[in-house]
Every structure is written in structure tokens, then in C-alpha cells.
Amino acid sequence: MRKEDFKSIYKENYPKVMRLCLGYVNGDNAQAQDLAQDVFIKVWENLKTFRNESSLSTWVYKITVNTCLLHLRSTKKLKISNYLPFNLESQSEHVAENKESQFKQLYTCINKLNDDNKAIILLELEGLPQKAIAEIIGINHDALRVRIHRIKNELTKCVTNE
């Protein structure tokens, strides 16, 4: 593999990988950067084994999900971070505090989900097509749609403190 090819893969996928990692670590930028670095090391090391059975970006997402899940299992419990992956500075202070509180609450609720459901909702929030999510997770599309509906209901209850 040429270095230029890897640079292209990195440049195209890094923002998506970083956002997904941020979701797994409650917006902790330093941890997310470490995880993203681990992902791209694995991509580099395993690119020659990529079989083109799915798109390259789907393969990178699968590596990202597996890397993040491995990290979660090794750390057991994550601390809620004060960092968010969103820039709230341009908003008024009151609105910014409210948004920050909502994002923290959402991340807290997402982190209460089991590993598979967390992966599903973070990929859904990333805007990945549901068929690609189903492929990454390893379930059929209809089952995924049902799970997403249930996850959203669970998160709504959690965020609204029901």
C-alpha cells in the first residue's frame, strides 16, 4: 500500500471516526483522539486484508466500533467528562449552558445502553445508512429498525427522567 492511499483514507474518514469515538467517551477529546489513532493504526496494519465485501468506510466504522468497545470493556466504567464535541461559544451563555446540559444528559443516557445498542445509536447519530449499520453490527435491516426504535424510546425516557 502506498502512503498516499493511506493518507486519503485517513483524511476522508478521520472526522467520522473522531465523532464516533467522542460518543463512546462522553466527549472526552483526548481519549477520543487516542482511540482514533488506534483505529487508524489498525486500518494501516490490516488494509491488505480488506476484501472489498463492503465499502471501505463501512470497514473503517467496524474497526472503530470494535476498538471503542474494547476500550470500554478494559476501562469498565467511564467518567462523565466536562468536554463536548460541539462548539457552543457562539450562543448566548444561558442557551449554551442549557445545550451543554442536554448533551451531557444524552451522553450519560447513551453510556447506560449495552454495547451493541450504544454502537447502533452512535452510528445512527453519525448519519450512517441503516443498511450499513446493520452490516457493521451483524444483524438484518428489519431487526435493526426495531432496535433503533426501542433505543430511541429508551433514550427519550432516560433524558426526560421518566
HEC string of the chain equals CCHHHHHHHHHHHHHHHHHHHHHHCCCCHHHHHHHHHHHHHHHHHHHHHCCCCCCHHHHHHHHHHHHHHHHHHHHCCCCCCCCCCCCCCCCCHHHHHHHHHHHHHHHHHHCCCCHHHHHHHHHHHCCCCHHHHHHHHCCCHHHHHHHHHHHHHHHHHHHCCC
Q: Is pLDDT at 77 greater than 60 in this prediction? A: no
Provide the pLDDT for residue 105.
81
86-120 pLDDT per residue, tens: 444 444 454 556 666 777 788 889 889 998 899 99
The confidence band for 76, taking pLDDT boundaries of 50, 70 and 90, is low
Q: Which of 5-19, 50-64, 141-155 has the lowest mean pLDDT?
A: 50-64
Q: Which of 3-12, 81-90, 94-103 has the lowest mean pLDDT?
A: 81-90
Q: Average pLDDT, stretch 44-70?
A: 88
Query: For residues 19 and 15, what is the distance between their CA atoms, to the nearest angstrom?
Result: 6
Query: For residues 37 and 19, what is the distance between their CA atoms, to the nearest angstrom?
Result: 13
User: What phi and psi values does residue 109 have, to the nearest 5 degrees?
Assistant: -70, -40
> pTM of the predicted model, to two decimals?
0.62
Residue 130 Cα to chain centre, angstroms? 14
Provide the pLDDT for residue 161.
81
Answer whether 134's CB lies under 8 Å from 141's CB. Answer: yes
141-162 pLDDT per residue, tens: 999 999 999 999 999 888 888 5
Query: For residues 55 and 128, what is the distance between their CA atoms, to the nearest angstrom?
Result: 12
Provide the pLDDT for residue 39.
95
Q: Which of 18-22, 40-44, 52-56 has the lowest mean pLDDT?
A: 52-56
